[in-house]
Amino acid sequence: MQLTDEQQAVLNGAEGPEMAQCMDTLVRYGSAFKAPRLVPIKSAHLTGSFRISSFKAYYEIVERLVAAGLRVKVKTTLNPRPGYDFSLQNRLVLKGQRRHEDNLEALGVTPNYSCVSYLDVNRPEFGDILGWAESSAVIYANSVIGARSNRNSIMVDICQAVTGLTPEFGLLRDENRGGQVRVKLEADVMDAQALGFLLGRHCVDRSPVLDHYPFSVAELKNMGAAMAASGGVSLFHVIGLTPEAPTEEAAFLGRKPEKTITITQDDLTAVRAGGEVQSASKIVAFGCPQMTLEEAREVAQYFVGKRVKRRVLFHLMPSALREFEQTSLFRELLKAGVEVHEHCPLAAMSVRIGLGKQQVLTNSGKLYYYLEGTEYGDLDDVLKVCGVL
């Protein structure tokens, strides 16, 4: 890897041993992927927003960075809180959470606590180079906005934030932005979250190119998140909709697809659990990634004047929740018995005692993939189990 004189000086310790360690991490990371150089980033996004008591090294490094007086060099946002107050077991597992948050804010990290920062306080533009972690944010930025970020890991993300640099490889380079799998859609009733889950399974670590379909912003958000979870996908194209796919030829960079697959209505339906399994669920969870204000308003309307038959959880972006709390619709939701949170449902419900194994029903393809003991249903399915449809 070719470093500039300034980068080499930092690596040699000109800005202290902590900054040198961050630079060394990025150099070794980039060298593993044969990156020719480090390039500046427009912003960063961190995944390490919660403190798990059994982990040590990451938190010790964060504290060392704070003690050295380092601060992030670019706009840096942060994943959701883990639900420290959601349960007693969470308070035990997440000891030290508040101290960790204080340390991150001392580094200059924006305390947005949302995985949907790209629709809030960290909005990249087409072509921006990013140093992001959080798979659902990376795939949205790459696919829907046309910014460029690899799927970076925890610790690498904070090294990018404090140096303002990232190795130039993978999806940062033009030749790697093309599609690889052609996806034909044969479905009259679209379920974007189920589609994302299936595409991840069919296109592991590949970039699918979909038939044109007028997906909404929410559908693109949630479909991409499911795809990134179930298959490690970091970029997709929708012909005539996403910015790098004005045509099929452009989406594939003039190359032929490696394979072509077809997703049918039956395929989408098969992702959904059967009625008896859905009805046995004890918890219904909405919002993974967190719901936007528009999503919350749309779903909340079904609960007006009703009373839920299950424990129902909404998870919103904190900024969206602050706005939502000022509306009459929010008060109606509380009257219906719905719990409204701003934490990550995956983190909050990962430790569950005494609730059985098949107790959560969700319309989130991402949560369905990651959270043990979860079943999937489309929006109508989960509303029926809630008792409001």
Beta bridge partners of 40: 165
- pLDDT at res. 56: 87
The per-residue pLDDT for 357 is 53
User: Taking the domain 275-386, which CATH number applies?
Assistant: 3.30.499.10
- Are 307 and 387 a contacting pair, CB within 8 Å? yes
CA 357 – CA 281 distance, rounded (Å): 10
- Domain 5-174, CATH class in plain words: alpha beta
Q: What is the pLDDT along the chain (389 residues), one digit of tens a residue?
A: 999 999 999 999 999 999 999 999 999 999 999 999 999 999 999 999 999 888 889 999 999 999 999 999 999 999 999 999 998 889 988 989 999 999 999 999 999 999 999 999 999 999 999 999 999 999 999 999 999 999 999 999 999 999 999 999 999 999 999 999 999 999 999 999 999 999 999 999 999 999 999 999 999 999 999 999 999 999 999 999 999 999 999 999 999 999 999 999 999 999 999 999 999 999 999 999 999 999 999 999 999 999 999 999 999 999 999 999 999 999 999 999 999 999 999 999 987 655 445 589 999 999 999 999 999 999 999 999 999 99
In this structure, what are the phi and psi dihedrals at residue 101, rounded to the nearest 5 degrees? -65, -40
| Residue ranges with strand state E in the chain | 38-40, 43-46, 75-78, 130-132, 165-167, 181-186, 208-210, 237-238, 259-264, 283-291, 311-316, 339-341, 360-362, 374-376
Integer CA distances (angstroms), 21 to 34, 68, 160, 310, in order: 20, 12, 12, 50
Decide: helix, strand or coil at residue 270. helix
Predicted confidence at residue 129, as pLDDT, reads: 98
Q: Range(s) for CATH 3.30.499.10 in the chain?
A: 275-386
The reported pTM is 0.97
